[in-house]
Amino acid sequence: MLTINFHPFKNLETNRLLLRRVSVNDVAEVLKLRSDKETMKYIPRPLVTSQEEALEHINMIEDKIESNVGINWAITIKGNPKLIGIIGHYRIQPENHRCEIGYMILKEYWGKGIVTEAIEVVLKYGFEDLNMHSIEAVIDPDNIASEKVLIKNGFVKEAHFIENELYDEKFLDTAIYSILKRNFKK
């Protein structure tokens, strides 16, 4: 079984991006991100409606890092510390060398290749630093933009579950995409 350790916390870099630790200074941006109906459309979680709830979300991210059960990064453009998105590894299964990747970005940054670029470096961390064998992404099948980003990063569709998740009194489908370490192109 893998031993997961996020300490010391590692910032990740790409040509354009710096992925850094989320902090309480990001509360306004986390509120903006998680309170936007359009951004949250495919994420079956309640909208964040206050700075207090945004702070709770930040604290939850920090607690998961501290206890080595999940890790998230603030997506920022190099030279500007402002959080424009969040990306990370969730639902880590050390016994299966598998985890789930999740991400979201402010809508004014959609369509600029930022998430694709961030996923690449987060996959590298997952396979090289965490020694994962496979990484999955669970998305709403209607989220075509997310599907395109995953395919661009080498993910393949593994499953489509029909009405397997109940949220807000509606049954939702989920699609699972994954990538194996051997298929990851650095």
Which of the 8 DSSP states describes residue 104?
E
The torsion region of residue 169 among left (phi > 0), alpha (psi -120 to 50) and beta comes to left
pTM, whole model, 2 decimals? 0.96
Residue 185: what pLDDT?
A: 84
The SS3 assignment for 171 reads: strand
SS3 content of the chain, % helix, strand, coil (to 5): 35, 30, 35
Residues 2-42: pLDDT tens digits?
A: 999 999 999 999 999 999 999 999 999 999 999 999 999 99
The pair of structure tokens assigned to 179 is: 């990538």
Tens of pLDDT, residue by residue over 93-138, are 999 999 999 999 999 999 999 999 999 999 999 999 999 999 999 9
Cβ–Cβ contacts within 10 Å for residue 127, how many?
Answer: 20
User: CB atoms < 10 A from the CB of 6, how many?
Assistant: 19
> Alpha-carbon distance 74 to 62, whole Å?
12
CATH fourth-level superfamily of 12-136: Gcn5-related N-acetyltransferase (GNAT) (3.40.630.30)
